[in-house]
Amino acid sequence: MLNASRIKQHMDVRGSDGRHVGTVLGVENDRIVVTSGGMDHTIDIAIVDAVKDGVVSLQTTAEETVRRWH
């Protein structure tokens, strides 16, 4: 299970395809708050694959993740 305390403000969030999704603003409950395209969005922490070297990697592609916001 992922330790959410490892996710820090200003970390880069990338999809499973390596493409940029957004930048971490913080963690609230079971969701990561990210800024992307000048707007704030949330991502379910359950889709986080790994947190390493200042990057939050997701199990979904950038496109799949962004599609959930619209």
Average pLDDT over residues 53-57: 97
Question: Is 39 a residue whose pLDDT tops 90?
Answer: yes
Quote the domain boundaries for residue 37: 4-67
The angle subtended at Cα 18 by Cα 57 and Cα 25, nearest 5°, is 45
Q: Compute the mean pLDDT over every residue in the chain, rounded to the nearest whole number.
A: 94
Q: What is the count of structural domains for the chain?
A: 1
CATH code for the domain in which residue 46 is found: 2.30.30.240
| List of residues 6+ apart from 34 with CB closer than 8 A | 13, 21, 22, 23, 24, 25, 40, 41, 42, 43
* pLDDT reported for residue 38: 92
